[in-house]
Amino acid sequence: METNNKIKKKIVRIVITVLAILLLKGLFILSPAFEHFYFHRWYVWISIVLRQVLGNISFSIGDVIYAGWVITGIIYLLKLCYKLVRMHWEDAAYVVLQGIHSLLAIYFTFLILWGYNYERNALASDLRLEVKPYTTPQLYQLADTLLQLVNQEKTNLGDTLHTISPNPDSARVFDQAITAYGLAAKHWPALHYQAPAIKRTLFGHWLNYIGVTGYLNPFTGEAQVNTTTPQLLHPFVTCHEIAHQLGYAPEEEANFVGYLVATQLPESRFRYAAHFEMLLHTVGQLARRDSSLTKDIWSRTVPGVKADYKSIINFYKAYSGPVDDYSRLLYDQYLKANNQEKGIESYSEVVGWLIAYFKIGVSY
């Protein structure tokens, strides 16, 4: 009898949570005023509060929370298996309902703290740019423009033959990224960044198996950077994750904001990292349309750029395997579930923003 009462109460809580999620979704669909409140009042306020509270803590609180959830999940599965093996059906049913309610509560919290930023789509107005469909010649011209910038910054770094020299001071990279956002905000006020909270993820080596260079923790607002990856990547990744903190959820938007910001800093490591990242995305898109043009671009990069690319490929070879394939599939589905129709390929859709930014106008 007691278990039956607990099951009934848990079902009521599940129904209430589902109704709350549906109500929230309905308000977004039917009320522009509520949508404006979420994006321009609520999210701005709650994200700053989270960063102010957690930003001065040296380690990642979000990673600790995730570790706690993993441990809790393992204990939960063991408990459920025990109930099933002992054929305690009512107890097992209650445990299943507990799990469903917990997942729904986490999802509701995700929506409240972060998730609806995928509906925002404000980058065009924030940066006063208009993105249009692009042609292959425009894509090639963008690749050529980025090629020249990459070669120039590689030359500025003093070595056009080898990989970029190490810079182990990630704290300095974080500080420089904050400075870069300050410079960018002078041109684009929407990029004003308050209460920094940038952390080294505690699980860097593990994240390499699934190809994660950084991520935003939506529950704590911390920007996580995987500092175990090649150091060439850190400046751009840091700028990219801060863009997510500002509410730019789609990956192509965060890529473009990260690029704009990183190139505002008069520091060749940041500028090279940003141009290098965008060149890879552009060449990848160009390769889908015309492989001969791709070969032409790649043949004109200085040897050091090729060496940097090869070093990144070699780094991830050590971590490749089935886990990487499954994680890419799951993340692809996550992005598609959050209005990014092209999934993982959406990262490369940044090229449309870059073409608009560089005002590349050639066409067939």
Q: Which residues contact 136 (CB under 8 A, 6 or more apart)?
A: 286, 289, 290, 293, 364
pLDDT tens, position by position, 133-186: 888 999 999 999 999 999 999 998 876 665 666 665 677 899 999 999 999 999
Where does residue 168 rank: exposed (0-12), middle (13-18), buried (19+ CB within 10 A)?
exposed
Which of 299, 300, 304, 298 lies closest to 286 in space, CA to CA?
298
Task: Quote the pTM value.
Answer: 0.89
Would you say residue 332 has pLDDT above 60? no
pLDDT tens, position by position, 204-236: 888 888 888 999 999 999 999 999 999 999 999
Break the chain down into helix, strand, coil percent, rounded to 5: 70, 0, 25
pLDDT attached to residue 294: 86
Query: Cα 254 vs. chain centroid, distance in angstroms?
Result: 7
Q: Per-residue confidence at 342, pLDDT binned at 50, 70, 90?
A: low
Q: What span, in angstroms and rounded, lies between the C-alpha atoms of 240 and 244? A: 7
User: In the predicted model, what is the mean pLDDT of residues 265-270?
Assistant: 92
pLDDT attached to residue 246: 95
Mean pLDDT: which of 241-245, 291-295, 318-322 is highest? Answer: 241-245
